[in-house]
Chains A and B, each alone.
Chain A
Amino acid sequence: MNSCDNVKALFSDYIDDSLSAEQRAQVDAHTADCAECRMVLKQVAHLTQRIQTMSAISASDAFDQSLRNRIMENYATESKSSLKRSFTFGFSGAAVLAALTFFILSTFEGPSVETVPAGISGAAPKAQPELIRREAAPQSALAAETLKKDSLKNTPARVDQKIQLVGQDK
């Protein structure tokens, strides 16, 4: 048999007339026996009908004008902030453009920095020894070879001369 709670769960659909014939018969059978549920169903139906016919509220006469003012106010605020945003973006854009120009100019002027004397450019003294070492190495080998050739040329007698160390047997 249906419990009161199960039947009460069907009351809305009963009032809205959206129950199947079988379910409707179940509610009718239960409320015929149960005075409590019968009373609740009647009161819910009465109250629902009463709520559906409650007097409606209307917007005041001043509503349209107030809405128009609020929309205009909002439009003005949006325009101001939009202008402010444009100005901010414009200013930022100009700053970026200036930085970019400076960067490009700096990049193209870059090689001329190397022409600056080492004493003025801070980086030059560090870079120069490396360059010197790399370039000086072949030059030193060449100079040494030349020196050796010159030495042999100047003292040909010493070419096959054996070196006699101290204490070594002759």
Chain B
Amino acid sequence: MENQVRYENETSDEVLIGRFQQGDNYAFDLLVKRYKDPLINFIYRFLGSQTDAEDVLQETFLRLYKNKHYYKEIAKFSTWIYTIAGNLAKTELRKRRRRTFFSINQFGGEEKDYEIPDDSNNPEQETNTQITDDIIQAAIERLSPKFKEVIILRDIQGFSYEEIADMIQVPLGTVKSRVNRARLKLQDDLQHLMKDVD
């Protein structure tokens, strides 16, 4: 029992995926156990819906199950799985945008860049001293996908700039610049809630 706990806790992701590639399905279960919560948090911040996030998470693990042999040990497993999840989340966002575009056109709306209504600006929900998670989440959702992706990976998931550069396949300087701009955009969007910050 003690050995099993040690195996679960101390075996690296890369060893587990290697064993799964050799047919050990228990290694797959351990990877799911290890990554389902961090990944759903990542995907949820992208999409803002728990149900949609679970669907995308299932698809992520299904891709892992079906395409396990595509993983090569040159990359960290976390980088690989976050790349899959991020791409699927962005695809889901694109689908939503298309659906929104068609539904707006169907009802004769003007052809303009549609923005998700900001419910967080309801004064009753706001306080001058506290910013709720929902308000921040809504502001993150309003960011464009390229800013949203880096701010989630950096500030919510806690990855280093180098790891993010590997995941999204852009130069390190671009990642740093995007994180900085995303933080400034969020500050600009939410500054009315931080008047008391001194």
Enumerate chain A interface residues (CB-CB to B < 8 A).
8-13, 15, 40, 42-44, 46-48, 50-52, 54-60, 63-64, 66-67, 70-71, 74
Contacts and interface: CB of A to CB of B under 8 A. Distances in A.
Given A40-B187, A48-B183, A59 B197 contact: no
Given A67-B61, A71-B65, A55 B133 contact: yes
Given A12-B179, A54-B136, 19 more contacts: A9-B180, A12-B180, A44-B183, A47-B136, A47-B187, A47-B190, A47-B194, A50-B136, A54-B133, A54-B156, A57-B44, A58-B40, A59-B37, A63-B36, A63-B58, A64-B32, A67-B61, A70-B62, A71-B61
25 contacts: A9-B180, A11-B183, A12-B176, A15-B183, A42-B198, A43-B187, A44-B186, A44-B187, A47-B183, A51-B140, A51-B155, A51-B156, A52-B155, A54-B136, A55-B133, A59-B54, A59-B57, A60-B50, A63-B36, A63-B40, A63-B57, A64-B32, A67-B58, A70-B58, A71-B65
Contacts of B66: 74
A52 B133 CA distance: 11
Interface string B48-76: 00100110011001100110000000000
A57 B50 contact: yes
B36 A43 contact: no
Nearest to B133: A54
B110 to A, nearest CB: 33
Given A51-B151, A63-B57, A57 B40 contact: yes
A57 B41 contact: yes
B11 interface: no
A46 B179 CA distance: 15
A66 B183 CA distance: 36
A47 B173 CA distance: 22
Interface string B12-45: 0000000000000000000010001100110010
B155 A48 contact: yes
Given A47-B190, A55-B133, A11 B32 contact: no
B176 A43 contact: no
Given A58-B37, A59-B37, A66-B58, A50 B184 contact: no
Interface of B: 32, 36-37, 40-41, 44, 50, 53-54, 57-58, 61-62, 65-66, 131, 133, 136-137, 140, 151, 155-156, 158, 176-177, 179-180, 183-184, 186-187, 190-191, 194, 197-198
Main secondary structure of the interface of B (DSSP, over half): helix
Given A42-B198, A59-B36, A70-B58, A50 B65 contact: no
A42 B40 contact: no
A63 B180 CA distance: 35
Among A48, A54, A56, A58, the most chain B Cβ lie within 10 Å of the Cβ of: A54
Contacts of B37: 56-59
A67 B32 contact: yes
B62 A59 contact: no
Contacts of B198: 42
A60 B151 CA distance: 25
Contacts of A43: 187, 191, 194, 197
A40 B184 contact: yes
Contacts of A66: 54, 58
B160 to A, nearest CB: 10
